[in-house]
Each structure stands twice: as structure tokens, then as C-alpha cells.
Amino acid sequence: MIIGVLALQGDTREHLHAVADCDAIGRPVRRPDELDSVDALIIPGGESTTISKLAVEFGLLEPIRKRIAGGMPVYGSCAGMIMLAERLLDARADQVPFGGIDMTVRRNAFGRQVDSFEGTVEIEDIDGGPFSAVFIRAPWVESVGDGVRVLGRVSDGPAAGRIVAVRQQHLLATAFHPELTGDLRVHRYFVEMVREAGQTTEG
């Protein structure tokens, strides 16, 4: 099992470490041929407009879209959630997401960098109690389509009830950064998604 981490911009290294700690092989992905060599992909946090621009420049936009449509498991955190959305609010006119999850996401929904915070989030399907989730210029999900499962919402504070974790079949997205806390449960959940997808393909 080889899990790629999109290495155009953002906290790539932290996700690679988390993948390795989950006993999987992680590889940075910057070119289409590197994408071809992985079974799944993580889109890290960072600046979504920059990731979008560089994906076009590096020839990765359409290849990633095709792999998503073909069933490749993908996990996006923060900016990665934005990149997996079908619809964006407060985005630049020239920003192009990969799409895949039938959801509307609002960029920088929690405010600017100075408004970054840690909040409590409980995630369905993941045992061990609530997450201490780090939100940095984070998005939230305004609405989802019928095929999307809401896995997590902010538990308390002024943003209580806002959707911050979703899954649609082979695609997973969180508004927060589990790679920054040392809590590997989201990454382990995604590794299991990848394993299940591989078993389905082999079967």
C-alpha cells in the first residue's frame, strides 16, 4: 500500500510522517508519473489557491480528477477539504478544485490566521473519544448532497454545530489538521479505507 501526499505546497512532511506511523508507505507526489505510482492520495493543509494554481502548472489537475472519478481513495485536510469540494464560497474566481465530494465549502470560514484555535470534535466511526482539533484559517462545510455522510461537527463555542468532517464513498475530508497533533486516528481510518478499496479491486 503506497499513499501519496500531494507535495505542491503545505504541510506535506507531517502527513508523510503520520502515514509511516500507520505502517504504510508514504511518497510525495509532484508529477503525474508519481501520481500513477500510488494507491491513494492525501491533499494537505496549506493555501488552497496556491495548490490549485500549482496543480494546473504541474499538470496534475486532470490526472487527479480522473483518479478520483476512478475510485482512488483521497483524504483532504483543511485546504485539502476545499480542493475536494464540488462548490466553493468566498473563493477566487480562478480557483479550480479537484472536486469529488458533493458539498459546498466556505473558505476561511473560521476567520483569519489570528483566529486559529483548537476545538473539540467527535468523529463518527472513530473510537477513542473526541479529537482536540486544530483549525488554522479553516473552512467549514455549508451543505452536503444526499451521498455525503457528515462524520463530525464542532462540539462547542461560537462555531458549534458546523460540519468539519465528511465522507463520500472513497473520499474523506476534515477542516482540521490531525497531522499536527500526533493523534493518528484519522490517518488510521484513511489507511483502512485504502485497504478496503484495494480488497474490493482485487475481489
Q: Considering 14, 22, 170, 179, which one is annotated as catalytic?
A: 179
478496503: which residue's cell? 196
For this structure, is 177 an active site residue?
Answer: yes
**Which entry of 177, 187, 192, 202 is annotated as an active-site residue?**
177
Q: How far is the CA of 86 from the CAs of 96, 154, 156, 196, in angstroms?
A: 10, 22, 27, 25
If one counts every other C-beta atom within 10 angstroms of the C-beta of residue 104, the result is: 15
Among residues 78, 86, 118, 124, which one is catalytic? 78
| Contact between residue 81 and residue 105 where contact means Cβ atoms under 8 Å apart | yes
The C-alpha atoms of residue 96 and residue 107 are separated, in whole angstroms, by: 13
Pair 118, 82: CB distance under 8 Å? no
Give the CB-side neighbour count of residue 14, counting CA atoms within 13 A: 16
How far CA 67 is from CA of 29, 32, 37, 64, 173, in Å, comes to: 13, 11, 12, 5, 16
Clarify whether 187 is annotated catalytic: no
Residues with catalytic roles: 78, 177, 179
